[in-house]
Amino acid sequence: MKKLKELLLKLLKNKIALAVFVVVAAYIAYTYINQVKDDYYIDDVSNGLEVVDPVGDVTYRIPLEQGDHWTQEMREAYWFTSQGSGIIPYTWFVWLEQADNQELFRSPDFMDKIGYLPSDTSAWNPGGLPIGFAAQRARKDQEPWMGFNCAACHTHQIDYNGKSMMVEGAPTLANFETIYTELINALRKTKDDSDKFGRFATNVLGEGYSSGDAKELKEKMGRLINKAEKRQAINLLPSDEFPKDFAGHGRVDAFGQIANSATAQALHDPGNNNPPSAPVSYPFLWGTHQSDVVQWNASAPNIPVVGPLVRNVGEVVGVFGDLSFNEAPWWQKLLGIDVAYSSTVDYKGLGEIESWIKVLKSPKWPDTILPPIDNDKRLAGWTIFSRECAECHKIIDRADELNNYVSNKTPLAQVGTDPMMAYNAGNGTAKTLILKGTKENVVVGKHFGDTAGATSIVVNGILGVILKRPEKALAAGKAPESDADHKDQLGIYIKGLIDKKEDHEEEYTHPHDTIIAPNALGPNGPDLNLDSLVYKGRPLNGIWATAPYLHNGSVPNLWELLKAPNDRVDTFRVGSRKFDPVNVGFVTDEGPTLFKVMKNDSTIMPGNSNLGHNYGTNLSDNDKWNLIEYIKSLGTY
């Protein structure tokens, strides 16, 4: 002990030696904690949770053929593996009642009404939660939380003639906004209603129930409600500008909400937000891993390892991944680190899910359930597609679906569809606050000033949490790429973010590149600068299962898409899973959400335009039907 005291006194007198000592000690502590961290987790598929009784009947869904690897075991793993999202303590969600009755919130009828897919209890799903509602990998000394994984938004059920089909990776028609509102209402009513809270506390606390624990439980519930209401508030749209159900079933402004998670929540300033005013359809997942870029606006390079890792961490941040920027502790400041990044991202789960998505193929047209494809019309349609569509939407044989491809990027001024998603993503700004003076890409790049692009702040946060535990993050990123060495990929990715010239501008081509489309928001719409903004054209394999169409879901079916833009329906209902195999989409005369292109003053609602993409609209009706028959077959042959 005496020698240790003498050593510490010498260190205190020598600042350089002290700094070295701190760095070495910190590194040893960090390495030790990082190595044993996973030992604290329960790592069986059920997270050690008890199987509860089902609370209603679940529809049987016929799984479609989407690749040899997609067994029932893989499906359940995909549905219920956690990515680290945390909305509510798991047992709370299992026993929470609906706001206005005693039926459980997780009941199949209620989940089905909102658009999420009920599922049976199983080892993977002990709580009988809907598909995509996953329990976090629970630490042995902490209670698990429940949150979304990507299956909640990228799994769909299609109904036809009394049969239901399951499509993995297809866009959901669920209502992301409604479920969160209903959850907050149910929590608030449970807290305030003594009888409702009594039933809830009895089930959650179980045999260990006591009045003291019940009181503490109610206090925790109050704090969670407060946090949830703050999150909800930063994503509210002005009621005098947008209808109540603006996003509705099947759409969400993912970019806007992810950005607000960083700028308003992570930076701890609720006013540092931007309205999420450009909701889009959820993209389908097959082919995502193979594309050179991802996102509707082709904004994210999909280089091996880091590309999937960055987009997946960003997705978790958008669905309650609890990103936070805080002042770094003193010992990190000695290393020049001013900001501490934290998140609940589960890299192990992310890596596993990405490895499964990598081998997901498009759904074949199920001709034993749906009317068979007319082969003569299909062959005639192939000629038309090759001439009218293939330069933007590559034709890929089913056998080649798992091969990488370069997507087409069409300038917004040419494709002429609603510009708001790409425009908002490129123009949203926010205060940098604690990030001011730090490097945009954490370790390299320009230094942040007082304000920055909201997307830049998101990227900073994503890279910050990745660099916090790079070996775990990159191991997750390499899960589907284990046959290659990608040690330098993080550096390449960051360099690409800095060098904006690496946007592959030579690939921004289109067969009609001399045509400038009219303003998609109408002749009296805002004059937006669309320079350098693009939308991505990807292969259309399995597109038959992904209606509504265009990136913002403004066109209900393929037949409407082939009409002249001004002739397309501007009002239709969304949310029904009943399939229309003739027009190729879902029925439009029923469904909980009314989609309207126009505002009450008969001008186009920004975000809802159904104009543009006029390719093929001048064909004869006979050619259009032949083209649709071919499009139905893409991915089947």
Q: What is the pLDDT of residue 56?
A: 85
**Predicted confidence band of residue 69 (pLDDT cuts 50, 70, 90):** confident
Q: What are phi and psi of 572, to 5 degrees?
A: -160, 160
pLDDT more than 90, % of the chain = 70
Rg for the chain, CA atoms, rounded: 25
Q: What is the pLDDT of residue 516?
A: 73
**Predicted confidence band of residue 484 (pLDDT cuts 50, 70, 90):** very low
Higher-confidence position of 486 and 103: 103
What is the rounded average pLDDT of the residues 606-619? 96
Segments making up each domain of the chain, as ranges = 2-40, 375-413+513-633
What is the rounded average pLDDT of the residues 100-120? 96
pLDDT tops 60 at residue 36: no
Q: What's the CATH number for 375-413+513-633?
A: 1.10.760
Q: What is the pLDDT of residue 493?
A: 61
CA angle, residues 128, 134, 135, in degrees to nearest 5: 95
- Angle of helix 306-318 versus helix 489-498 axis, rounded to 10: 70
Residues whose CB is less than 8 angstroms from the CB of residue 212 and which lie 6 or more positions away in sequence, other chains included? none
Measured between alpha carbons, how far is residue 87 from residues 199, 231, 444, 484, 605 in Å? 21, 11, 33, 36, 32
Residue 506: Cβ-neighbour burial (10 angstroms; 0-12, 13-18, 19+): exposed
What is the rounded average pLDDT of the residues 101-126? 95
Structure tokens, 633: 């077959």
Count helices and strands in the chain by DSSP H and E runs? 20, 20
Higher-confidence position of 626 and 16: 626
Q: What is the pLDDT of residue 451?
A: 97
Cis peptide before 548 (omega within 30 of 0): yes
What is the pLDDT of the chain when averaged over all its residues?
88
**Predicted confidence band of residue 333 (pLDDT cuts 50, 70, 90):** confident
Measured between alpha carbons, how far is residue 432 from residues 158, 273, 319, 453 in Å? 44, 11, 22, 9
Q: Which of 388, 410, 369, 396 is nearest to 627 (CA)?
A: 388
pLDDT tops 70 at residue 510: no
**Predicted confidence band of residue 517 (pLDDT cuts 50, 70, 90):** confident
> What 3 state SS string does 218-239 have?
HHHHHHHHHHHHHHHHHCCCCC
Measured between alpha carbons, how far is residue 100 from residues 189, 221, 426, 478 in Å? 8, 18, 42, 47
Question: What is the CB neighbour count within 10 angstroms for residue 129?
Answer: 24
Residues whose CB is less than 8 angstroms from the CB of residue 48 and which lie 6 or more positions away in sequence, other chains included? 42, 138
Instruction: Determine which of 274-288, 338-352, 591-605 has the lowest per-residue pLDDT on average.
Output: 338-352
C-alpha neighbours within 13 Å on the C-beta side of residue 87: 24
Strands (E) across 292-334 are located at 293-294, 300-301, 324-327
Q: Which of 87, 83, 67, 86 is nearest to 75 (CA)?
A: 67
Q: What are phi and psi of 342, to 5 degrees?
A: -140, 150
What is the rounded average pLDDT of the residues 500-518? 52
Type of residue found at 263: T
What is the rounded average pLDDT of the residues 384-404? 95
- Measured CA to CA, the distance from residue 112 to residue 103 in angstroms comes to 14
What is the rounded average pLDDT of the residues 131-137? 90
- Measured CA to CA, the distance from residue 614 to residue 606 in angstroms comes to 19
**Total-model pTM:** 0.89
Host H or E run for residue 160: strand 155-160
Q: What is the pLDDT of residue 483?
A: 41
